[in-house]
Structure 1
Amino acid sequence: MNSFFTVTGLTTGIIRPNDPFTERIIDAAEVACNGFKDGDILVLAETAVATAEGNVVMLETITPSSRARELAQQYRMDPRIAEVVINESDSIVGGIPGFLLCMKEGTLLPNAGVDASNAPPGCVVPLPVDPNASALRIKDEISRKCQAKIGVVVADSRTHAMRLGCSGVAIGCAGITSVIDDRGRCDLFGRKLEVTKRAVADNISSAAELVMGEADECTPAAIIRGLGMPIGNQKGVDSIAAEECLFMGVFRKCQK
């Protein structure tokens, strides 16, 4: 990969349910950096993707269950949001005031990814139903309309254990490899690397977060240009089983 690349935010205005999201991204790219070029990697905020796909929940339509009310009281939450989180989760493993810690599709994350930030008034936005499929669909649409071979990453912002603040995490990916295996390469002193794998899609997501923002920027996308990653037909974000994860292994032992 190249040592010099650029990160350009794409300003689209507010994204609403069923908006022509890809067209808005293409128009924003024309303004920001003269459109898409071969090798570009497009990073998209998951909330914008989910909203455009219509995956928005109006809280007035939600009737909290008894469990949702119990969790809401325990963790000082809106019972309706607690109900949405329960429905989006595989399991609830704990929480802190305002958030439930959930397992969802093999990942430990707050509120199962349900987001009230940048959601329409009175609504919350769950994660896209299938982020990898969303990334692939948008990649194919842009590649066809713009005649450019690009990669697409759907990114979320997450907290990490014992760290203050959020950074980017890839939850959907198409056109690039999400993880590069460096095992077998040598370090500065000739020792072979045994466990090192680079979370490329996560690192790209974090770079994009710097220009996309988390508040009222109306910049739900960014183009990474000049990185030099091969563009192909790859799809999906690589992950590991819970029993192979250091943090999850310790967490589960503490629960016993």
Structure 2
Amino acid sequence: MDVFAVEGLPEVRPGDDVAGLIAGQTDLRDGDVVCVASTVVSKAAGRQADLADFPADERAERIAARIGEVTGEEKDPRFAQAVLEESEELLTESPFILAVTRFGHITVNAGIDRSNVPDADLLLLPEAPTAEAEAIRAGLRERTGGDVAVIVTDTSGRPFRLGQRGVALGWAGVAAARDWRGERDRDGRELGVTVQAVVDELAAAANLVTGEGDGGTPAAVVRGFEFGDHGERDALYRDPENDVVRQALREWSYVRD
């Protein structure tokens, strides 16, 4: 399997054709997986915003003040308001805001970015990353004739571990996970729980070559990946009612309040 960055992409602006930009900079083959950073997907969709667009309500003021008390760092209540408006639920309000986005992803500050946003204060996550992945995939097929998969990626922290890694927000043309349940190990024992989050692993591989900061390479191609003869699952996010971590966070937050 090869993984390489798509070089030479310009600064993406609202209204830009992400599929056209990628197709113009690389020769794609059937079976390739194109991983695209959510930042450029959001920029093309006009998801930039200014803090002035989010006048803070009483809850946002309270959240910002509480974070400031805990961390000693001032938090702009308008930023807290932006997180509230981009979230379905807050799991924690301090010492940081852990939010559930409207499409099910759980991340700090609802994934709102303040880096590499030249024309605004904030960059919001795509509203519907899987729909965006499907649109980019269709655009690539139209321009190249190739049958490729597309993953919209972001970087995210991990419970119990330091550092961030690439994760999938939306995907098209590839199942979210390999389902190994029912297969057998080398000793003949049947696997009962193993479901491999393939799209997250591909997103992490892509992040190794796209990098962070000022790299300017927001897309990568994974070539030679084979899903194999396994069961497929397209669910990536846990059912909220059966997610013990989410339930524990809710209880911890309630106790703290």
TM-score between the two structures when normalised by the length of structure 2: 0.87
- Partner secondary structure for residue 69 of structure 1: helix
- Partner secondary structure for residue 203 of structure 1: helix
Identity over aligned residues, as a percent? 33
Give 1:73 deviation, angstroms: 2.0
- The 1:165–1:137 alpha-carbon spacing in structure 2 relative to 1, beyond 3 Å, is same
1:33-182 alignment runs, 5 A limit: 35-75=27-67, 76-97=74-95, 99-105=96-102, 106-182=104-180
Gaps of 5+ in 2: 68-73
Distance 1:119 1:7 in 2: 26
Give 1:243 deviation, angstroms: 2.8
Distance 1:168 1:18 in 2: 25
- Partner secondary structure for residue 148 of structure 1: coil
Give 1:94 deviation, angstroms: 1.8
What amino acid maps onto 2:39 in structure 1? T
- The 1:216–1:79 alpha-carbon spacing in structure 2 relative to 1, beyond 3 Å, is same
Aligned residue in 1 for 2:184: 186
Distance 2:56 2:206 in 1: 36
Q: Is the 8 A contact 1:43 1:153 kept in 2?
A: yes
Give 1:143 deviation, angstroms: 0.7
- Partner secondary structure for residue 28 of structure 1: coil
- Partner secondary structure for residue 211 of structure 1: helix
More displaced 10-residue stretch of structure 1: 39-48 or 18-27:
18-27
1:217 aligns with 2:215: yes
RMSD: 2.1
What amino acid maps onto 2:22 in structure 1? I
Give 1:236 deviation, angstroms: 6.1
Q: Is the 8 A contact 1:41 1:153 kept in 2?
A: yes
Q: Is the 8 A contact 1:174 1:236 kept in 2?
A: no
Gaps of 5+ in 1: 30-34
What amino acid maps onto 1:115 in structure 2? D
What amino acid maps onto 1:15 in structure 2? V
Q: Is the 8 A contact 1:173 1:237 kept in 2?
A: no
Give 1:52 deviation, angstroms: 0.8
Aligned residue in 2 for 1:24: 21
- The 1:180–1:210 alpha-carbon spacing in structure 2 relative to 1, beyond 3 Å, is same
Q: Is the 8 A contact 1:175 1:235 kept in 2?
A: no
Give 1:242 deviation, angstroms: 1.8
Aligned residue in 2 for 1:32: none
Q: Is the 8 A contact 1:17 1:54 kept in 2?
A: yes
Distance 1:107 1:139 in 2: 21
Q: Is the 8 A contact 2:179 2:233 kept in 1?
A: no
Distance 2:35 2:118 in 1: 22
Give 1:240 deviation, angstroms: 2.3
What amino acid maps onto 2:60 in structure 1? A
- Partner secondary structure for residue 41 of structure 2: helix
- Partner secondary structure for residue 165 of structure 1: strand
TM-score between the two structures when normalised by the length of structure 1: 0.87
1:10 aligns with 2:2: no
Distance 2:251 2:128 in 1: 31
- The 1:253–1:100 alpha-carbon spacing in structure 2 relative to 1, beyond 3 Å, is closer
